[in-house]
Structures are given as structure tokens and as C-alpha cells.
Amino acid sequence: SLQIALMTRRQLRCSELPKSPGRPLGEERIREGRSNLSLSLLTVRELKIILKENNLKVSGRKIDLISRLSSLGVLEHKEAQKSSEEPKFGPIVMLTVEIISSFFEKIDLEILLRAACVCKKWNTASVLRTSCRSVVLNHSVRYAAVLKNMIKWQQTPFIRSVEINSMFRCDDGLSSLVKVVSRAVSLVTLIIQFSEFNTLTIIPCIGSHCPSLEHLDIAVPNAVDMASQQSLMALSGCQKLSTLRLRFTDGCTASGARLVDILPALIRGLKNLRAFTARNLPTNGITPWSALASETLRELDLSNSKDLGSALSPGARIILPALETLKIAWTGSGSDGQAATDHLVAAFAAGCPALLRLLLHSSFVSRASLDALAAGCRRLEVLRLGGLRGFAHGDDFGGGLALDFPELRVLVCPAVFGEGIPVERICCPRLRTAMLSRLLVSRAQVEEP
């Protein structure tokens, strides 16, 4: 039934809907004195009931108005496909959009704008203000047109989140994105998952015009010049930034190595930064990690990077007093790589007393590294190692962990050089799961203290 299409907004507010436990609906709400009841007070469940009764389906929080309404026959064309005129929507569509705009903050903007283009009666800017505080762009071929429409309707001041999941196909799209970002004064989250263009051209704009930005996830090319270092430092203008993820895209190039030289300074300059991720970090052994310091950083992810400790000297310290999670996937190979690993672990252990989770996924550590951790990280709960070097049968590795890390709950070490570690030597009061040399040790198998 399409009876709802003939109802006025007032009638819709007062219409009887199936009751939710503990919450009156429809006329009962009006009787409670809520004469100004609006659609925004309805729950998502109630909205789905309305749409279901009218054969309008909801899939998550994204609604393709064109395909669904066309299949229901409410999207009218003049002379079918023979006419070049734009299709028109009936009253049911108008009402449906009004309902949707009151509930769904995250709608695929490209779909909504495409629907708006065929119905000139819509107050599109009003619809976007209420429903599209979070923008998702999935169809790269239409980026430029979508972004231009956002600028045209002066919608960008209301946008709080922009997520781009594909590559741009034209320079026009990138320039439009720069304009959108420069006007998005309320922008809180920006995710750009493409690498075809130099995204560093956008970052100065972000630092200058997005003071409310809290989360930035952006693909960064490595092949950049010295001017790009200054571009990256422009992020220091986003002092509310709490999460920063940089995904380097061109491999470990020399120019990229120059770029990451400034990362420690950038982290120091962001006073509210809590999580920093750098994937495929092109360090090439010259990044001055000893200069890294932050009072607020809680998570540091340097996964898929290499030679991280090559530039550290013995005795170096990395001061991160609030750090709780450290992820490092690769620190080098051979004798030089082992020394780099020991220097890196010792540097973090000396300055990270709050460390709870240490994940060295592909790195082999020595007894010296474990001793450094035992001295500086008393609260360690999760220890993930790529392997151990220099341990022979009968070494007191298990007992050492039990004594040195009283809070340890998870121990993973898939490779042990030497004869291995006998399970009966492990004595950890809080250990729940341990994997040593591909041997899973359950709580029942761990010796009680």
C-alpha cells in the first residue's frame, strides 16, 4: 500500500505504529504533551516499519533511492526511455526523502545527489544539512561533479566526515576536493584511500582550514621534494588531531626517507595525538627516532616498515610515557638487523613505562632485549615476538618471564632458535595463552605458581 504517500506530515507524526517495549508511539506521544513531535524522535526501527509497510527496503545506512524507487515504479519517465527529459518523482518519493533525511546521517552522497538532479523540487541543501553530515564517495568517475555540487550548494560547512574509497580519475576532482576541504570548517574525520595524485597538496589546506579535525587517514606518496616536508608539517595546525594514519604508497625510496625525517617533529607538535600509524614507512635507517617524544601518544603502529632501529645508538631513549600499544613488523635481518632490534626495543623500553602490548611480528629478539623490557615495562600484558635468538635447552626464559612480567597474559613466539623451551619451565601467574615453537599452551597446561 502507498497510503502513506497521501498522508500529511502531521498525520504521519500521529500515526499508530507497532509499539516498542517501554516507549509509547504515535498518538500516545502527543497525549504526553509532545505537541512539537518531529520525525527525528522516531527510532530507526520505527522508520524501517514505515518503509517496510510501503515496500521500501533499507539496507544498513545506505539507501540507493534511484534503483529501489525505480523498481517500485514510483520513478516516472516520460515515454519510457525515448524521451531525453529528466525523470520526475512522485509524492511518495518526496515524503520518503523527508523521512530518510531525519534519520540517516551517513548516506552515499553520490547517490543522493544523483537522485536530486532529477527532481528540481527538492530543497537539496536542506536535505544535505540534515542527512549528510558524513559523506561517502565510492564512485570515482563522478567525484568531480559531486564535489562541485557540494560547493555550489554551500553544503561543506555542515560536513563532519568525508570518506573516499577509490582513486580520482581527473585533476578536476582533486582540485574540487581541495575546495571542499578548505570550506569544511566542521570537518572531524577525513579518509582518503587513493594514491594516484600527490595528496600532500591537500594537507596544507587541511592544516589551515580544518581546526576541528580529529581523525586523518590518508595515502601519502614517498617521491616528494623538500617542499613536501613543509606540507606535512602543516598538520600542526590541527591541534585537535587525535588519530593520524599515513600510508606510504611508493615503496622505500630515498626521497621518501627524507620525508619521514620530520615525523618525530610532527608527532611532538600534535599535543592531543593519541594514535599514530605509518604503513610501509620508508626509513632506510636515517629517521631520527631518538627525537620522538609525546606526552599523549597511546598507540604507535609502524607495521610493514624496515630498518627502524638502524639509526639508534646504544643507550638511546624514546620518551612516550603514555604509550600502551607498540606494533613493529620488521626491524632488519642478519647481525646488523639483530643489533638494530636490540637498540630499538631498549630505546622504547627505557621511555615507555605504561606499555601494555608489544607486537614485534617479524622481529627476532635476544636476551638483552627481554632484559631491557623487564627493567622498563613492568605492566606488559601481551608480548608478540617473531622469534628468539641465542636460547638453548634449559635456559631460564620461561621462569624469567614469570618473574620479570608479572602481568603477562599472552605470549606468542612462533620460532625459537636452539633446542626450544620446555613447557614445564613456564611459570606465569596470569598467563592465559602461550605459543612457543608452534606449541599452544592452554591455561590447564601452565604450571601454577
The pair phi, psi for residue 279, each rounded to 5°, is -95, 145
**Is position 85 within any domain?**
no
pTM: 0.69
Whether residue 294 is contained in a domain is answered as yes
Average pLDDT, the chain: 64
The residues with which 23 forms a beta bridge, in sequence order, are 20
Q: How many Cα atoms occupy the beta-carbon half-sphere of 3 within 13 Å?
A: 7
Q: Are residues 138 and 221 in the same domain?
A: yes
Give the residue, 113 or 241, on which the prediction is more confident.
Answer: 241
Integer Cα distance of 96 and 4 in angstroms: 9
Mean pLDDT of 249-268: 65
Residues 205 and 112 in one domain: no
Of the pLDDT bands very low, low, confident and very high (cuts 50, 70, 90), residue 36 is very low
> Residue length, the chain?
449
pLDDT in tens, 189-230: 998 877 566 677 788 888 888 888 999 998 877 655 566 667
Higher-confidence residue of 295 and 97: namely: 295
CA dihedral 326, 332, 334, 340 (to 10 degrees): -60
Kindly state the average pLDDT of the residues 82-95: 41
Shared-domain flag, residues 421 and 295: yes
In DSSP terms, 143 is beta-bridged to none
Q: Are residues 363 and 439 in the same domain?
A: yes
CA angle 336, 399, 365 (to 5 degrees): 10
Is 54 within a domain?
Answer: no
Which residues span the domain enclosing 127? 94-131
Count the domains in the chain: 3
> Based on the domain organization, do 283 and 432 belong to the same domain?
yes
pLDDT at 361 over 60: yes
The larger pLDDT score, comparing residue 30 to residue 136, is at 136
Tell the burial category of 280 from Cβ atoms under 10 Å away from its Cβ (0-12, 13-18, 19+): buried
pLDDT-based confidence at residue 336 (cuts at 50, 70, 90): low
Pair 369, 345: CB distance under 8 Å: yes
State mean pLDDT over 111-126. Answer: 48
**Where are the alpha helices (H) located in 325-441, listed in sequence order?**
334-351, 367-376, 397-404
323 contacts 354 by C-beta, under 8 angstroms: yes
Q: Which of 108-117, 123-132, 402-411 has the highest mean pLDDT?
A: 402-411
Q: Say yes or no: 432 and 298 in one domain.
A: yes
Backbone angles phi, psi at 180, to 5 degrees: -65, -45
More reliable by pLDDT, 368 or 43: 368
Please indicate whether residue 255 or residue 275 has the higher confidence score (pLDDT): 275
Span 50-77, mean pLDDT?
44
Residue 99 above 70 pLDDT? no
Residue 324 has pLDDT above 90, yes or no: yes
Q: Do 301 and 436 fall into the same domain? A: yes
The H-or-E segment that residue 207 falls in is: helix 203-209
Please report the pLDDT score of residue 368 as a whole number: 76
Separation between Cα atoms, residue 224 and residue 221, nearest integer Å: 7
Highest mean pLDDT among 43-57, 153-167, 311-325, 345-359: 345-359
One-character DSSP codes across 107-137: EEHHHHHHHHTT-TTS-HHHHHHHH-SEEEE
